[in-house]
Structure 1
């Protein structure tokens, strides 16, 4: 056979090692192909135009723990498993001729384990320039991925996730207040995770073995809320056919979490004030004081200072509930946490759906997530990922699977750093977006931003940005 196999790079930004392999393979004939592949440390798999495996080198056999003889003629999805096979991505690359660069995905090993590889591709052509298949260049990153996941546990507190300075500061504050009995006010926009902060305080403190009782103060009318919190005596009102303990008594020995505290009426504020000051409650319809051993956490997304100025919140009550204040930053102000949050949320959603494999997400999809303003914060991010998993059928997530318009600047020219003010929050956002889209490849990120590498390094230092571990 006299066919020559050529790998077409189409001048795309490809890792230097993969470029060297491509150039080398472009100069050899088919009869020398296997001999050459055996000398390379990267795993290389040749597939035909129907994405069926033709052959692979010894390095690929070692990475996969499977032999070329066993896999010859099988579909490429036999490597990746049906749930995470990037077949659509591979077919698109084969049709367009555009290579895949630095696409991390999972593969099945011979012993049933799941490994992680970094995938690059290049089109294979015969001497008549006809496409006959594709070369898959694999780098084993299983150990690196496992290490990264172990390291990521450092950036978790309970179910809270964050590695940026704002979240690390919050984690430290939670640790400092956990063992105290002081009242804590948790502030943050809707969807930021105020309940998760309250639970983290509970789990990290001396009351962790006690109950955690949550009450949504905005869901009940004034009279019903009073009965819910303090309980009632038999005959206290129509329908009170027996004594009933309230949520404060249920929380004895533990923590009560009063969500939406800004919606509590002044009448209920007075009764709560007594509990905060004396740790004593009275059930509705009786005058017997009942001591309670409880810590009070509360949360709000409202401007309590404005309520205080307008007279809708008592000053003494305001200062009693905010002995310590914990503020959760909105997601748009901690974009560096988005990749970590995506991994965490994808895992949660997958487990809820009965899947134990973590779906992959493309660099372009991640860039869209980094670029979105997230008015609904982490709750909106979770909904967007659930939407994407439904459309992708629990496989690799691409930008086409995200909610329409999310993170996209329709009709707008790509922004560069030259178009924004230096050392601004917008500059920081663009840096994070470019780095996420390129997998933290500084050279490609600098090119995307229209600056040189030295300028990029200086701006990373200015904004204190570091690659996630």
Structure 2
């Protein structure tokens, strides 16, 4: 026999019923059943259920909702929902009001609240509209469960597997995490070595933030991006008239970083003459501005970074031995991402959380197929490349999980790309589906620049705008 769906409709006590009823307001029951049947069904659920009218008065709360919210009111029916729920979203914008306005349910939103006993709780929330038999909306329902323990565990793991904004559970990263707090308290010069994209600047920033110099400035300079003359002026500053265009005196990065930390990236790219000048500052903590004669003293901790093999450069005479050993008082070598595969799930989730916040999305994770591709990829660009991949996928994904079709095409093996085309053939309009996916990919690649996307797809701007509106992307 086919089961009957549960109906939900507004309910009021009969005039002859005396005294308050905790069932007053909203009753859910199978056709032919009674309110007590519905109460038993709803009270058996672990999820909290709160029904709220358009006037923001509580219509109904089941047993789990009362326990999760720890309401002191024995009969919260007809109470103001903001007093009972008291969540972070109540202070910003009512989620039910948004559901009523848009007609769209909210799925898996995380909210925080303080219960009647002053304890902070984190809930995962879903919403839906409540309609009477004629289809008229008379309120909304919030369905939630308490994930406070899960969040607390994640925070504990985050503390165990992170230092600053650096994340990792691999043995190599754990060894680095053990050293960083000790290194942070020292003033000694640090040389961070590792391939491009391994997070050298993050390590430098974490050392600064966890040092006694945290209140001082953190100044950074990419040495490879500047010519020798410009680099000298950037590092040491210049006096007025030192060179053509020097219309006024200007402090350099060493002066700006005094009392704090100076991060010199791509240190292996500086010339031999600049190596001599830098060595003097590191040894004597003093220098003269370009074109000046006055000696400037500074108190700066220097953290340098390179993706070159400086030891080999030293042996070939490209890098001074004395500067190499002066910089390498404390060496830190960051492993490439391919050597810390066990860190991938943590890093992926971290980037998903970041882009959820930036893009206003609610991506929960990856499908098993997409995760398999990312776990088997070799990442020549290291963490920076992984971050770009997740950003690309997050822009394209409008679902709860990132799938193969959301990943950059060059990551997918030929078989996966074939599977993508086959999946397109399952759509009602395969050509339209492929066109929309191409538009999404191009929008992500060109940062939403409509002119560039139109040019890349050989499509008129007006046509592209029309497609974007149809796709609700404009």
TM-score if structure 1 supplies the norm length? 0.60
Instruction: Name 1:426's counterpart in structure 2.
Output: none
Work out which of the residue numbers 209, 212, 230 in structure 2 matches 1:203: 209
Q: 1:151 aligns with which of 128, 152, 156?
A: 156
Q: Who is 1:400 aligned against?
A: 405
Cα distance in structure 2, aligned partners of 1:366 and 1:211: 40
Where does the alignment leave 5 or more consecutive residues of structure 1 unmatched? Answer: 6-29, 46-57, 66-76, 86-104, 118-137, 413-469
CA–CA separation in structure 2 for the residues paired with 1:320 and 1:301:
18
CA distance, structure 2, for counterparts of residue 367 and residue 59 of structure 1 = 41
Q: CA deviation at 1:3?
A: 2.8
Q: Give TM-score, length-normalised by structure 2.
A: 0.60
Matches of 1:362 and 1:193, distance apart in 2? 24
Q: Secondary structure at the match of 2:263?
A: strand
1:264 to 256, 260, 270: 270
Partner of 2:191: 185
Counterpart of 1:135?
A: none
Instruction: Give the conservation status (yes or no) of the 8 Å contact 2:367–2:402.
Output: no
Root mean square deviation of aligned Cα: 3.9
Kept in 1: contact 2:122–2:151 (CA 8 A) = no
Q: Relative contact order (alpha carbons < 8 A, sep ≥ 6): 1 or 2 greater?
A: 1
Alpha-carbon distance change, 310 to 143 in structure 1, aligned in 2, over 3 angstroms: same
Larger deviation, residues 282-291 vs 178-187: 282-291
Residues 83 and 394 of structure 1 are in contact (CA less than 8 Å); yes or no, is this contact kept in structure 2? no
Corresponding residue to 1:374 among 369, 375, 379: 379
Report if the CA contact (8 A) 1:84-1:359 is conserved: no
1:173 to 170, 179, 185: 179
How many angstroms does 1:309 deviate by? 1.9
Aligned counterpart, 2:257: 251
Deviation, structure 1 residue 152:
3.0
Give the drift of 1:271. 0.0
- Give the whole-Å Cα distance in 2 for the aligned partners of 1:278 and 1:142: 56
Match of 1:437 in 2: none
Cα distance change on mapping 1:378 and 1:298 into 2, 3 Å? same
Equivalent residue for 2:333, pick from 327, 332, 335: 327
Q: Distance in 1 between matches of 2:363 and 2:207?
A: 31
- 1:358 Cα deviation from its structure 2 partner: 4.5
- Aligned to 1:352, which of 347, 358, 373? 358
Q: Retained in 2: the 8 A contact 1:307–1:313? A: yes
Aligned to 1:282: 288
List gaps (5 residues or longer) in structure 2: 5-30, 50-61, 70-98, 115-120, 126-142, 418-474
Matches within 5 A, 1:25-424: 85=107, 115-116=123-124, 142-154=147-159, 155-353=161-359, 355=360, 358-364=362-368, 365-393=370-398, 395-406=400-411, 408=413, 410=415
